[in-house]
Structure 1
Amino acid sequence: MQCPHFDAARCRSCTLMGTPYPEQVAAKQRHCREALGERPGLTWLEPVTGPEAGFRTKAKMVAGGTVDRPTLGILDAHGHGVDLRDCGLYPPGLQACLPVLADFVTRAALTPYDVARRTGELKSVIVTQSPDDELMVRLVLRSTEPLARIRKHLPWLRAALPRMVVASVNLLPEHKAVVEGDREILLTEVTSLRMRVNDIDLQLRPQGFFQTSTDVAAALYRQARAWVTEIAPASVWDLYCGVGGFALHCAAPDRDVLGVETSAEAVAGARRSAHEAGLDRVRFAVGDATAFALGAAAAPELVVVNPPRRGLGPELAGWLEASAVRHVVYSSCSTTSLARDLAAMPSLVPRRAQVLDMFPQTAHYEAIVLLERG
């Protein structure tokens, strides 16, 4: 993949840009094996790859420039907007909607937020594209001041962007380095974006988490399902379940599956997916994974964990180590925290592992490991 923004030093987010893709994947495989160390009995599966360009399901575009000439992309070291509407990481359908959204910024008089002066309203535009090419558009604002103008011009946006099925405003009044705030104001009757993955329809609501690459996410869920099917547990927990990808893929007529997630929006989407699929034995609960596990009366036979980058932490890892859980499927975006958690769970022995390249052009990747109690 070649990128004019990288070559011109306007954007260096893709730290491996210019490195041949097979070399990127091989380096990630080596890194993961070194992080986990030599482990007798551990089988490494072939790495999973997807497209090296046009793979991202979501564009998080920081607003810059002016109302009349907005930029959507990143900010440079001086806080000036760098327009990345043609970023090669985004598929054509996602790229095509960005000029329309830039026009909407002008039409609705949404003043881009000036970080240095702490003035303006529009902080970023977040767009997600589904496998069916439908769109979710979220406008991250400092306040509700522009809301009336946004509603006034929303019919124009819907006509100009008919693939948009979900639109919302997210409020982030604080001046801090986070992507979004806690409050979401829906602008459309439809509240979730259908993300079809394998044979499952996942429902993504505005504040729900979804994997970066749909193709690689599909492979990740298939691998987890294959391991769970082989083990055939009667009960499964999916901790940090998000919109329910692992839980729904692990469903079976004779199996109780429970997903736990802190985001109420994500759980609402997961419950809808289970209901529409007729999966009566798949349930979801809003809660903290660690608190839920520590407070449970009994442990399941198998636990799936997909924690944030910080990992499980000592409490949850300690609970798993001392529990009666026979198998753990651990999906990780950080081998540093993965290795730390494995060290805290010596009774749960890694048996199979796989690297999945969810983030081409960067050093990041996903890893999935099957653990069995020794």
Structure 2
Amino acid sequence: MQCSYFDAGVCRSCTLMGTEYSAQLADKQHDCKTLLAAHSRLEWLSPITSSEAGFRNKAKMAVGGTVDSPTLGILDAQKSGVDLRGCGVLQPGLRDALPRIACFISQARIAPYDVAARRGELKYVLLTEAPSGELMLRFVLRSREALSRIRKHLPGLQRALPRARMISVNLQPEHKAVLEGDTEIPLTPATTLAMRTNTIDLRLGAKSFFQTNTAIAEHLYTQAADWCAHKNPRSVWDLYCGVGGFALHVAAGARHVTGIEVSAEAIESATATATAAGIGNVRFIADNALRFAHESRAADIPDLAIVNPPRRGIGTDLAHWLDDSAVQTVIYSSCNAVSLARDLEAMPALAPVQARLFDMFPQTRHYETMVLLERR
């Protein structure tokens, strides 16, 4: 893939830009296999590849420039705005929406936040596109100062961007490198976006996590469902379940599935998805994964556990709990092979038997890995 922003040196976020895709994939596979080399009997399935361009379903655009000429992209070393509306890794629908959003910023007179001077209002534009083409649009503001103007001009934005199903304002008043704040102000009746994955419409709330590459997310869920079907467990836990992607994809037949996630918003979304889809053998609970595991009765321990933690991994405590438990099978989905390798070492009673790399993030060194573990 060729990128004019990268070639001009104005954006180097995609560190592998210009490298042949086959070479990117080979390097990632080598890196992952090296990190997991201690598990010599691990069978590696063929990696799942991605489109090289137009794969990102999310645009997290820092806002710079002026109210009459806002930039949507990143901030440079001097904290000045660099416009990246034509970024080639974004889905085309996102790129199409960004100029219209920039026009709205000027019309509503929402002053971009000047990091160096600590003045202005608009910090980020966060945009997510569903496979249907519908959009979730969020404006991250420092205060409510521009809120009345946003509401006044909102009908014009909705006419210019009819695909925007959900629009909201997030308040992040602090001067620090935090993407969003605690307060979310809905501006539309809809408060969720339906993200269709395979045959399930996952409902995303404003702060819900979803993988940045929808096609690869579908492959992740399919792989977990295939492994689960092969093992045919009577009960499953999906720890760090988010909006319920893994749990809902493995909830086949009479199998009892429980999803655990610390975010109450995500649990609400997952429950709504299950209800709408008529999936009655799954329940979702807002709780800390480690606490839930420790407080569960022996009779409730599942046959199979799915873990999909953040980059830090599941950690030693949960790894040791799984290792000592009656869980017979673990499916570990990881976005960081370093923490994955560390967690696998902490579970010696569970043998990694199959693994697969999923190229979630082309043009970067990041990737997803999924490992199937069975009790020795």
TM-score clears 0.5: yes
1:312-351 matched pairs, under 5 angstroms: 312-351=314-353
User: Given the alignment of the two structures, is residue 161 of structure 1 paired with residue 174 of structure 2, yes or no?
Assistant: no
Whole-Å separation in 2 of the counterparts to 1:99 and 1:33: 42
Name the structure 1 match of 2:372. 370
Distance 1:87 1:134 in 2: 19
The residue number in structure 1 matching 2:21 is 21
- Alignment match, 1:84: 84
Q: Aligned pairs, how many? A: 374
In the other structure, the counterpart of 2:62 is 62
- Aligned positions of 1:34-53 closer than 5 A: 34-53=34-53
Segment of structure 1 superposing worse, 110-119 or 218-227: 110-119
Pairing of 1:176-255 with structure 2 (within 5 A): 176-255=176-255
Structure 1 residue 201 displacement after superposition: 1.0
Aligned to 1:110: 110
Whole-angstrom distance in 2 between the partners of 1:245 and 1:148 = 37
SS of residue paired to 2:252: coil
Q: Tell me the distance in 2 between the aligned counterparts of 1:281 and 1:274.
A: 9
TM-score, structure 2 length as denominator?
0.98
Give deviations 1:18-62, integer Å, cap 9, x for gaps: 110011001111110000114243110000011110000000000
Shift of 1:253: 2.1
Q: Give the corresponding residue for 2:138.
A: 138
- Letter of the 1:212 partner, please give it: T
The CA distance in 2 between the partners of 1:84 and 1:40, in whole Å, is 44
Specify the SS of the correspondent of 1:72: strand
Match of residue 303 from structure 1: 305
Alpha-carbon deviation of 1:313? 1.0
| Structural RMSD (CA) | 0.8
State how far apart, in whole Å, the 1-side matches of 2:217 and 2:374 are. 23
CA distance in 2, matches of 1:321, 1:373: 9
SS in 2 for 1:87: coil
Worse overlay, 251-260 or 356-365: 251-260
Query: Which residue is 2:148 aligned to?
Result: 148
Secondary structure at 2:136 match in 1: strand
Q: Which amino acid aligns with 2:7?
A: D
Percent identity (aligned): 59
Return the TM-score normalized by structure 1: 0.99
* Equivalent AA in structure 2 for residue 8 of structure 1: A
Distance 1:86 1:324 in 2: 51
SS in 2 for 1:351: strand
List runs of 5+ in structure 1 lacking aligned partners.
Answer: none
What SS class does the counterpart of residue 266 from structure 1 fall into?
helix
Q: Which residue of 2 aligns with 1:286?
A: 286
SS of corresponding position for 1:195: strand
